[in-house]
Chain A
Amino acid sequence: MSHDHSLNPETMPQEPEKATLEGKNKFLGLWFFLGGETVLFASLFGTFLALRNSTADGPAGEEIFGLELVFLMTMLLLTSSLTSVYAMYHMKNNDFKKMQLWLGITAFLGIGFLACEIYEFYHYIHEYHFTFRSSAFGSAFYTLVGFHGGHVAFGLSWLIAIMVRNAKRGLNLYNAPKYYTFSLYWHFIDVVWVFIFTVVYLMGKVG
């Protein structure tokens, strides 16, 4: 009982995600993980930059990339970053329902992004016969962009899992760090996307 009480205090602390030792550890652990992710994505970006002109007579980036779709995807992911900020704002005000609502909007925007990406890959494969095996450029492109898409898919599963699992619990000191670490991860996904749309699509179009 005392355990339950310490996780459900009468007045929520200002930063519920860092009020327990476990919460602090999760916070530090996630940032440690993000440092590692930075290096992981750097190796994929470096590979892509090295191979982006090796098209082996297959389609080149400037022939197949459509800026309209990429712009739409960017707006979806950037907006979902803001909606998760809103969710954390409501978490700090101890408003569980509004937090879940904004996280739900975040999930919808993330699903929209993923749907666009699946459509994009489908389009490349069927219209241009541009596949993973077309060229070194193809392999590097699908690995980099697909890895990011995989991160979005993982993030969505994570988000939906914690939203469903804690739906009836309400906000407490046990699950606040779970929501907060998710929001950090989700922002990081957006950070990676900023470099993908710049380096892959925009620089690909410029030449």
Chain B
Amino acid sequence: MTDNTNINSFQKQKNKEEMKKQLITFALMIGFTIIAFAIVATEAMDKMFAIPLLLILAVVQVAFQFYYFMHMKDKGHEFPSMMIYGGIWAAILTVAALVAIVWW
């Protein structure tokens, strides 16, 4: 019984630390969002720089969402990673093909 409670308090502490990381992730994601909106609202940047920067901000934010909020950084997530990267691979091909059709 005493062993159980020990494991529990240890796990609770671990969960708490995990939650702290999630909060930092959330703060970063809010930050990225605000930067992205600020770039567009202030019209501070040329289109040539703004669009790639907006896309990079989105990709970084999504990576945080996958790896921290959806726990893809934890072990036992090999299959989820395979599925998501497979999906992303097909997604890139699809978007590239549809955009290329109207290029000319």
Contact = CB atoms under 8 A, between A and B. Distances in A.
Interface of A: 11, 14, 18, 28, 31-32, 34-39, 41-43, 45-47, 49-51, 67, 71, 74-75, 78, 81-82, 85-86, 89, 92-93, 184, 187-188, 190-191, 194-195, 197-199, 202-203, 205-207
Interface residues of B, number: 49
Interface in B14-32: 15, 18-19, 22-23, 26, 29-30
Contacts, number: 127
B51 A42 contact: no
Contacts of A51: 102
Q: Which 4 A-B pairs have the closest CB atoms?
A: A38-B87, A46-B98, A42-B91, A35-B83
Contacts of A194: 58, 61-62, 65
22 contacts: A31-B80, A31-B83, A35-B83, A39-B87, A46-B94, A47-B98, A49-B99, A75-B33, A81-B26, A81-B69, A82-B26, A187-B65, A187-B69, A188-B70, A191-B65, A191-B66, A194-B58, A194-B61, A197-B36, A198-B55, A202-B36, A206-B40
Contact of A67 (B29, B41, B94, B98): B41
A109 to B, nearest CB: 13
Given A43-B98, A67-B41, A35 B29 contact: no
Contacts of A67: 37, 40-41
A71 B33 CA distance: 9
B101 A50 contact: yes
B12 A191 contact: no
Contacts of B102: 50-51
B40 A89 contact: no
Contacts of B61: 194
A85 to B, nearest CB: 5
A206 B51 contact: yes
Contacts of A45: 91, 95
